[in-house]
Structures are given as structure tokens and as C-alpha cells.
Amino acid sequence: MTNEKLKNLFSPGSIAVIGASNSFDKLGYHVMKSLAGNYQGKIFPINPKAEKIWGIDAYRSLKEVPEQVDLAVIVVPASLVAETVHACGRKAVKGIVLITAGFREIEDAKGEVLEHELRAMADRYGLPIVGPNTFGYVNLTLGINASFTSEFCQIEKGGVALISQSGGMCHLCGFLAIDERVAMSKLMSLGNRCNVDFPEMLRYLVEADEATRVIALYIEGLDAPRDLIETAASLRGKKPIIAYKAGRSEKGDSASRFHTGSLAGNHDIWTGALRQAGILQVESADELLDTAKALDACALPGGPRVAVLSGQAGPGMIASDALERVKLQLSRFAAATQEKINNLLPPIAIRTNPVDMGPAWYNPKAMLEILQAAVEDEGTDGVIFLAMYASANLKLAEELEKYMKALEPFRKPVIACFTAPPGIWDESIKRLDRQKGVVILATPERTAKAMGNLWKARLLWGEKR
């Protein structure tokens, strides 16, 4: 599978939806909903009976479409897939998203046979096929949602590509990404991986997909894990690659075999192999998203020494504790830095690290000057910046945003947690997030965990390109 073929797969000028439907209960309805009104190219709904689907002229079959079709999204029953793929081959489509399930993931031997046939057809026509047994893909860069989940259009456009072996995990992470403002380039579930699997996706995303700056993988189990490991190793350091590997438990392992047809394998062996391939391993969906977001927006720290600056002392303490848990250190400020901070805070304040900015609470400009001083400190490699706002101090939050605008982008990582009640400061937090290389995460503990992973990333990959 070449990068060029994958590029075509992800940037179609026209899309046919084979099995498009006007009935809410059909996946073909929801695929149309995902595309109609969002996708800028031509859409050809294919349905033997309907005249129009989602207000768009429908065709009885693919061959009746009078124009070139670049991508076919297939949602017909498994028994009709073979003839449908043949029709796609004859029509010279450039790629297929095969949502239909019922292939090698089922216990019945028939599924394995069907999948074998499918591969043969894909080879014959030189066709990249995403799936079968996938919800599809979303290319946020180009505004293409080739999936049955229209809400993925709400994810912000950005640099993180999430490639998942599970549709459920893609949904979980995609929904969390909307809430937590993780900006993405692509989101896809590989499903049974007919001929689009982790290795070719990795190569394509690293070498040929400019919009992707960070690659996040969710892996259950692979038939040929060595291919993934060797591909990742050959691409090491070009773009950050992080992975959440499931199947730690014995039972989880056997579940994986049935889910997408591959054994999860021994967890410790996987951990070692991922490390050797230069893939950063994470242990939860939250950590996968936080780390990807921070890797996309922040510089990498040159060392493990972190400054914690907090508008309220308590959150500063727990961030300090959490840093210790991920083996980072609280930095010791150089004399000049300490003097600057001392000039910005009254003597009653805790001015060493963690810094309690409480006494500067009514002076957001001073808080940002403390931030700048900490970032510029020679003994500090990264900064955690915390503030909890409510309506009583909303003006201060707005001033913080105003002063932030005037700053230069930070050349060291700054990970923030700004908390406010729902609805109170949402738009402002949205604007502040990733401005000047500052990422905003949900809790103080999560800022520390993400900082720990940025440092691990630096050790794995060296300086960020």
C-alpha cells in the first residue's frame, strides 16, 4: 500500500455511499448525514429504490453514476459486499471504506472465507480498503466525515491523528476530544484491517500527511506485530508516535482474538517492543488524549525540572505531588528569577517553587510575568500553570486572556489547568487553549502526567522538529 494510494483514499473529490438510506434506522442514513452539508465534493447516494437521499439525487447502482467516483463508502449487508467491491473495481474507485461487519471477526468460518475473498479482490484491483467492520474514517483537515457518526464533525481541526483498532475506543476518544478540545487531523478505526493496517498508516501519516503532527494509536492485538514495530523504528523521531496497548489481562487477550481476529500477545513483550521502536506508551484514554494534545502544541522540555505556579495553593500542592509520582522534579529558581518573582509578589506569599500566585490574584499581568520569568529560568525545563476561576473573578480571567495575547510563544512547555464552572468561561478557555504553546488540561494531576510524558518523549526522540 503506497502513500499515494492512501493519500487518494483520504482526499476523494467525490464519494459514493453504497447503501445510502432515508431511514433513520439504517447506517446508510447516518453516513449520509455525516457527509451532507459538510463534505465539499460530490456525493452519490446509491440505493436501488430511492430517488433522492438527504435531498441528493440517488443512483440505483454504482455503474449508473455518470462521473468519476473516488471513494466508496459501503454499508450493504455482508452477503452483498463481494459484488459491491467488484463494482467498485470496475468503476475504478480509488478507495473503499467498508463499514459492513460479519467477516473474520465472527466465530463462523464463513466470515474468514468472506474476508479471504475480499483481500483477493482488493489485490486484484489495487484498492485500499478501510475495514471491514469499521465505523469509517474522519479527515478533519479536509472536512470529510466518512463514518456513521456525524458528531465527529464537532472535533476541532488540528494535528493529532488517532488510529484505532476499535470503533468503540474511537468513539470514546472522539467524544472526549470534543469536550477537551483535542484538535485532530484524522480519526479512524482500522476494523479487520483488510489491507490498511497500522504499518502503512504510520508510514503515510509520518511521511505524506502534512496536517498530522502527532500520531496516537490504540492497539489491541496484531498478527504481525513486528511489521508495526519495524515501521515505527524506521520512522523514529520524525513525528511523535504514542500508543495505548490493550489486552494486559489474560481475559482481555482472549477477547481481542474474537474482537478483531488477533491475539493481544504478552503485555510485557509489547511494552519492551514499543519502547525499542520509539513509541511512547500510555495507560488510559485520558492520558492518550492529554499527551497527544501536549505533544502537538508544546515544546519538549530539555530536562525533568518543572516550576509549578498556582493561583490557589491547594492545586499547586497536588500538582507538585503528581510531578513526584511521574519522577519529575520541582525546579530550583536561579537567583535572578527568584528576584523577579519576589518583586512581583508581596513578602507574605510562597515565592519559591511551587509558587502561590494568590497574592497576585488581582493582577493577572503580574501572574503572566511570573509565568514568563519561570519559563525563562535557566534551571526550569517546563512550567505548570494553574488557576480556578468563577464568576467572582471573571474579569481577572478576561484580563489574563488579554495579556496572554501580547506574549511571544513559549519555547518551553507550559501546561495549564484553568477551571471554571460550566458556561462561565468556556469560550475564553477555548481561545486560550494552545495559544502561545500553552495547553489546557482538565485537572492539576493530569497536567503533571502530561508533563512527565513530554519529558519521556524528549528522552525517546530528542528535540522536537
Q: Segment near a copy of itself (CB under 8 A), from 12-20, 228-236, 278-286, 364-372? A: 278-286
Question: 118 or 288: whose CB is closer to a copy of itself?
Answer: 288
Please identify which residue in the block is written with the cell numbers 476518544.
173
Instruction: Report, in Å, the least distance between residue 87 CB and a copy of itself.
Output: 25
| Binding status of residue 420 toward a copy of itself by CB under 8 A | yes
Q: Report the C-alpha gap between 231 and 365 in whole angstroms.
A: 47
Residue 198 buriedness (CB in 10 A; 0-12 / 13-18 / 19+): buried
Question: 17 or 300: whose CB is closer to a copy of itself?
Answer: 17
DSSP 8-state class, residue 3: H
| Binding status of residue 281 toward a copy of itself by CB under 8 A | no
Residue 262 buriedness (CB in 10 A; 0-12 / 13-18 / 19+): buried
Instruction: Report, in Å, the least distance between residue 161 CB and a copy of itself.
Output: 18
Instruction: Report, in Å, the least distance between residue 369 CB and a copy of itself.
Output: 21
| Binding status of residue 338 toward a copy of itself by CB under 8 A | no
Question: 93 or 177: whose CB is closer to a copy of itself?
Answer: 177
| Binding status of residue 318 toward a copy of itself by CB under 8 A | yes
Q: Segment near a copy of itself (CB under 8 A), from 41-49, 83-91, 230-238, 353-361? A: 353-361
Question: 66 or 347: whose CB is closer to a copy of itself?
Answer: 347
| Binding status of residue 320 toward a copy of itself by CB under 8 A | yes
Instruction: Report, in Å, the least distance between residue 210 CB and a copy of itself.
Output: 28
Q: Which residues in 6-35 contact a copy of itself (CB under 8 A)?
A: 24-25, 27, 29-30, 33
Contact indicator for 437, 299 with CB cutoff of 8 Å: yes
222-248 residues labelled b (16+ CB within 10 A) or e (exposed): beebeebbebbeebbeebbbbbbbbbe
Q: Which residues in 159-178 contact a copy of itself (CB under 8 A)?
A: 164-169, 171-172, 174-176, 178
| Binding status of residue 380 toward a copy of itself by CB under 8 A | no
Please identify which residue in the block is written with the cell numbers 482526499.
11
Contact indicator for 115, 132 with CB cutoff of 8 Å: yes
CB-based contacts of 381, cutoff 8 Å, min separation 6: 301, 302, 303, 304, 305, 306, 331, 412, 413, 455
Cell of 184: 485532530
| Binding status of residue 292 toward a copy of itself by CB under 8 A | no
| Binding status of residue 378 toward a copy of itself by CB under 8 A | no
CB-based contacts of 43, cutoff 8 Å, min separation 6: 14, 15, 16, 17, 32, 35, 36, 56
| Binding status of residue 284 toward a copy of itself by CB under 8 A | yes
Supply the angle between the helices 167-180 and 285-297 in degrees, to the nearest 10.
50
Q: Which residues in 424-443 contact a copy of itself (CB under 8 A)?
A: 424, 443
| Binding status of residue 356 toward a copy of itself by CB under 8 A | yes
Site string for a copy of itself, 233-262 (x = CB under 8 A): -----------x-xxxx-xx-xxx-xxx--
Question: 82 or 424: whose CB is closer to a copy of itself?
Answer: 424
Residue 377: other Cβ atoms inside 10 A: 23
Question: 129 or 387: whose CB is closer to a copy of itself?
Answer: 387
| Binding status of residue 419 toward a copy of itself by CB under 8 A | yes
Q: Report the C-alpha gap between 131 and 99 in whole angstroms.
A: 6
Question: 57 or 250: whose CB is closer to a copy of itself?
Answer: 250
Q: Segment near a copy of itself (CB under 8 A), from 13-21, 283-291, 295-303, 334-342? A: 283-291
Question: 208 or 255: whose CB is closer to a copy of itself?
Answer: 255
Q: Which residues in 96-135 contact a copy of itself (CB under 8 A)?
A: 106-108, 111
Q: Segment near a copy of itself (CB under 8 A), from 73-81, 296-304, 349-357, 452-460? A: 349-357
CB-based contacts of 431, cutoff 8 Å, min separation 6: 401
Residue 209 buriedness (CB in 10 A; 0-12 / 13-18 / 19+): buried
Q: Report the C-alpha gap between 54 and 37 in whole angstroms.
A: 10
118-147 residues labelled b (16+ CB within 10 A) or e (exposed): beebbeebebbbbbbbbbbbbbbbbebbbb
| Binding status of residue 195 toward a copy of itself by CB under 8 A | no
Go through the chain and tell me how many residues it has.
Answer: 465
Under rule CB under 8 A, how many of the chain's residues touch a copy of itself? 84
DSSP 8-state class, residue 104: T
Instruction: Report, in Å, the least distance between residue 2 CB and a copy of itself.
Output: 29
Question: 61 or 352: whose CB is closer to a copy of itself?
Answer: 352
What's the CA dihedral at 372, 378, 384, 388 to 10 degrees? -40
Instruction: Report, in Å, the least distance between residue 465 CB and a copy of itself.
Output: 31
Question: 312 or 372: whose CB is closer to a copy of itself?
Answer: 312
